[in-house]
Amino acid sequence: MFLEKMVERNPELVETGLRLLGEGAILPDTYVVDVDRFLANAKAILDEADEQGIALYFMLKQVGRNPWLAKKLVELGYPGAVAVDFREAKILMDHGVPICNVGHLVQIPRGFLKDIVAYEPTYMTVFTMEKIREIDAEAARQGKTQKLLLKVVGPDDMLYSGQHAGFELDALDEVVEQIQTLDHVRIGGVTSFPCFLVDEQTGEANPTPNLDTLLAARVILERHGVETINVNAPSATCVGTLKAMGAYPDITSAEPGHGLSGTTPLHARRNEPEVPCVVYMSEVSHNFRGHAYCFGGGHYRRSHVKHALVGTNLANAVVADVIAPELPCIDYYFELGQEFPVSAPVCMAFRFQIFVTRSHVALVEGLAGGTPRLAGLFDSQGRSQTWEDLS
């Protein structure tokens, strides 16, 4: 999906990935992150958000919940992270990373509420009264008051399979009234996902019906006397979508994830301010009936992977078709459209969600200055790894 743009805009990363694999510094099934460009992308997004008056909470599930990158983003000026679920929250908490929003898309389970309330995230996203009452009770035990973002949904909203949840817009009045009877939670705003999507025909980022629902929900909250309402409108947040958000002055926060790595659908189509900066490295395991098979483990069902580069460097690399594993099957291997020498390095660039894989992550600093060095190795859940752990 991103291979052509990666070679065009960040050939140094491709060369470095091929070299690291060839030298044995990394193993197959490793994502390599160009830290210099990752942080440059993050700075460009932050600058645009400041221009638009929109707060940003970074999301790192895509790059394996990486606490090393999280700390770099906080140093850059981001106020903190959004944790998509309680496991990501735990990683961030273990490393002292501020959490601005937790529970979207996955609410916090009862057994983790004590820890998360004690950590004092800025917001907790919720979409059931039962969960709100649990939070209120735990906050009362700790003598705290927790701000909430209400996930809301309208009749025409887009909902992804596995993410169906939300307070129905036509029931929001009653929900707000119930929340306002509780003493240790207060409503801080509303959220939904996805609020913007890239049109595959035009390549433009357009608002979804979910955004209309958010804006209607904001009016309802105002009517109930809620002040300082955070309208959180995530999805494909990058410089381009932030400019589109500028047309909606009620939007107050967003959550860059793939924008940080330059890998939103916008970046696959054209050159955006952010430079793609993550490649997936593997190597040929074997050949069978005219096709090569390289080690897998990092496949994501929505990756749209189509091609790979096979070779020791860009000068001698050959472009090969990739035949991704069928959905019912485990991604033990990626199948290539022709044969290649066993142990030949393979580089791919596709849409990823590292936290759902078996992959490892290699962070490389110094590429921008021509002096690349391996800054760290991590597993897919953000845990630091030594070479002994990997081999």
Question: Count of CB atoms within 10 A of residue 183's CB?
Answer: 9
Kindly state whether residues 18 and 88 are assigned to the same domain.
no
C-alpha torsion sign, points 179, 100, 92, 191? positive
Kindly state whether residues 254 and 313 are assigned to the same domain.
no
Q: Assess if residue 104 is contained within a domain.
A: yes
Last residue within a domain, chosen from 204, 231, 258 = 258
Question: Residue 12: CA atoms inside 13 Å, Cβ hemisphere, count?
Answer: 17
Is residue 348 within 8 A of residue 279, CB to CB? The reply is yes
DSSP run (H or E) holding 379:
strand 373-379
Q: How far apart are CA 36 and CA 286, in angstroms?
A: 35
Last residue within a domain, chosen from 258, 285, 306 = 258
Nearest Cα to 192, choosing from 224, 215, 226?
A: 215
Kindly state whether residues 152 and 99 are assigned to the same domain.
yes
Last residue within a domain, chosen from 258, 286, 318 = 258
Question: Count of CB atoms within 10 A of residue 113's CB?
Answer: 22
CATH number at residue 79: 3.20.20.10
Q: How far apart are CA 311 and CA 7, in angstroms?
A: 14
Question: Count of CB atoms within 10 A of residue 133's CB?
Answer: 14
- Give the model's pLDDT for residue 269: 83
Q: How far apart are CA 380 and CA 178, in angstroms?
A: 40
Kindly state whether residues 197 and 339 are assigned to the same domain.
no
Kindly state whether residues 250 and 356 are assigned to the same domain.
no
Structural domains counted in the chain? 2
Kindly state whether residues 58 and 132 are assigned to the same domain.
yes
Token pair 């947040």 is found at 237
Kindly state whether residues 178 and 217 are assigned to the same domain.
yes
At position 155, the amino acid (one-letter code) is P
Kindly state whether residues 140 and 92 are assigned to the same domain.
yes
Q: At what angle do helices 86-94 and 67-76 cross, to 10 degrees?
A: 70
Q: Assess if residue 344 is contained within a domain.
A: yes
DSSP string over 211-240: HHHHHHHHHHHHHTT--S-EEE--SS-SHH
Q: How far apart are CA 378 and CA 362, in angstroms?
A: 7
Give 318's contacts (C-beta < 8 A, 6+ positions apart). Answer: 309, 310, 311, 340
Q: Assess if residue 363 is contained within a domain.
A: yes
Assigned token pair, 148? 């909430």
Range of the domain at 318: 3-34+271-390
Q: Assess if residue 75 is contained within a domain.
A: yes
Assigned token pair, 298? 């990092």
Kindly state whether residues 338 and 250 are assigned to the same domain.
no
- Give the model's pLDDT for residue 358: 97
CATH number at residue 307: 2.40.37.30
Partnered with residue 336 across adjacent β-strands are: 322
Kindly state whether residues 234 and 292 are assigned to the same domain.
no
Token pair 């790192």 is found at 60
312-317 contacts at long range (C-beta below 8 A, 24 or more positions apart) = 312/18, 312/22, 312/344, 312/345, 313/15, 313/18, 313/19, 314/7, 314/11, 314/14, 314/15, 314/18, 317/18, 317/347
- Reading the chain (391 residues) residue by residue, the pLDDT tens digits are 789 999 999 999 999 999 999 999 999 999 999 999 999 999 999 999 999 999 999 999 999 999 999 999 999 999 999 999 999 999 999 999 999 999 989 999 999 999 999 999 999 999 999 999 999 999 999 999 999 999 999 999 999 999 999 999 999 999 999 999 999 999 999 999 999 988 867 778 899 999 999 999 999 999 999 999 999 999 999 999 999 999 999 999 999 999 999 999 889 888 999 999 999 999 999 999 999 999 999 999 888 899 999 999 999 999 999 998 888 899 999 999 999 999 999 999 999 999 999 999 999 999 989 999 999 999 999 999 875 554 4
Q: How far apart are CA 257 and CA 82, in angstroms?
A: 10
Kindly state whether residues 67 and 118 are assigned to the same domain.
yes
Dihedral-angle region of residue 293 (phi above 0 means left; psi in -120 to 50 means alpha; beta otherwise): beta
Q: Assess if residue 266 is contained within a domain.
A: no
Kindly state whether residues 88 and 186 are assigned to the same domain.
yes
Q: How far apart are CA 351 and CA 1, in angstroms?
A: 7
- Give the model's pLDDT for residue 388: 55
Q: Assess if residue 265 is contained within a domain.
A: no
Is residue 38 within 8 A of residue 236, CB to CB? The reply is no
Q: Assess if residue 264 is contained within a domain.
A: no
Give 57's contacts (C-beta < 8 A, 6+ positions apart). Answer: 78, 79, 80, 81, 82, 100, 101, 253, 254, 255
Give 316's contacts (C-beta < 8 A, 6+ positions apart). Answer: none
Q: Assess if residue 253 is contained within a domain.
A: yes
- Give the model's pLDDT for residue 391: 45
